């Protein structure tokens, strides 16, 4: 079984400032890692994912994340946020073994509030 911890439940940030959202996971097997964004009254949209290869993953809307296996982390960053980045952000993992299917385990979410 896997578990995901998002260390910050809420992150206020000023427009054009950088932001980092922290995500740590625990698993006894290899995992795939995902970041999703949820805008108000909408479903989840995939920002980026790590499956294998380069540990620095670039996603949509200028976001990127770095997989750190030794620290079991997958922190999300953006160098300069916009008002439109105000949303909930979810980190998720899935068991990388093919037989495990594609079930996701989510973290508790981080609410980003971008202030002008």
DSSP string covering 12-46: EEETTS-EEE-EEEE-SS-EEEEEEEE-TTS-EEE
Asked if residue 17 binds other proteins (CB under 8 A), the reply is: no
Contact 105, 90 (CB under 8 A): no
Query: Which residues on adjacent β-strands are paired with residue 73?
Result: 24, 68
Among 7, 17, 29, 46, binds other proteins (CB under 8 A): 46
Asked if residue 27 binds other proteins (CB under 8 A), the reply is: no
Would you say 15 or 44 has its CB closer to other proteins? 44
Asked if residue 15 binds other proteins (CB under 8 A), the reply is: no
Asked if residue 97 binds other proteins (CB under 8 A), the reply is: no
- The interface region with other proteins, picked from 16-24, 56-64, 72-80, 88-96 by CB under 8 A, is 88-96
Q: Where are the beta strands (DSSP E) in 39-104?
A: 44-50, 56-58, 64-68, 73-78, 87-95
- The interface region with other proteins, picked from 15-23, 40-48, 62-70, 79-87 by CB under 8 A, is 40-48
């Amino acid at each position: 079984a896997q578990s995901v911890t998002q260390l910050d439940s809420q992150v206020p940030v000023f427009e054009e400032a950088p932001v980092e959202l922290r995500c740590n996971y625990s698993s006894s097997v290899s995992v795939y890692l995902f970041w999703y964004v949820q805008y108000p009254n909408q479903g989840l949209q995939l920002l980026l994912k790590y499956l294998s290869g380069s540990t620095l993953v670039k996603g949509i809307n200028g976001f990127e994340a770095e997989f750190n296996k030794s620290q079991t982390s997958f922190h999300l960053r953006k160098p300069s946020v916009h008002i439109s980045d105000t949303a909930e952000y979810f980190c998720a993992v899935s068991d990388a073994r093919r037989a495990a299917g594609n079930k996701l385990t989510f973290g508790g979410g981080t609410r980003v509030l971008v202030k002008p």
